[in-house]
């Protein structure tokens, strides 16, 4: 698009980042099983609401994506000079 960011874009970035920094320590952390099961449920529900079919692949992806991303994040933190 090659448009220069304006004052609104820059101020929005600043406000959102400050709000995240302020609110993140105050938010409760749910149990890990709550996150994983809610992600699986919303992923499967979302695909059916959009007209998709739910099969073995959908369920397998919903169950495996969380641990795969967590393992990838651990791997990135393992490399020196990153994270």
Q: What does the pLDDT look like over 11-29, one tens digit per residue? A: 999 999 898 888 877 876 6
Query: Is 11 within the bounds of a domain?
Result: yes
Residue 54 or residue 22, greater confidence: 22
- Asked whether the predicted pLDDT for residue 9 surpasses 80, the reply is yes
Q: Within 13 Å, how many C-alpha atoms sit on residue 20's CB side?
A: 6
| pLDDT for position 41 | 65
Return d(Cα 54, Cα 44) in angstroms, integer: 7
* DSSP code for 81: T
Query: Is 2 within the bounds of a domain?
Result: no
pTM, 2 dp: 0.36
Residue 35 or residue 7, greater confidence: 7
Query: Is 83 within the bounds of a domain?
Result: no
Domain carrying residue 61: 7-78
Query: Is 70 within the bounds of a domain?
Result: yes
Residue 81 or residue 63, greater confidence: 63
């Amino acid at each position: 698009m090659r448009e220069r960011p304006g004052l609104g874009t820059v101020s929005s970035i600043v406000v959102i980042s400050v709000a995240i920094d302020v609110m993140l320590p105050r938010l409760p952390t749910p149990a890990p099983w709550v996150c994983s099961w809610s992600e699986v449920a919303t992923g499967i529900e979302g695909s059916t609401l959009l007209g998709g079919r739910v099969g073995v692949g959908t369920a397998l992806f919903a169950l495996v994506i969380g641990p795969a991303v967590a393992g990838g994040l651990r791997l990135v933190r393992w490399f020196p000079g990153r994270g």
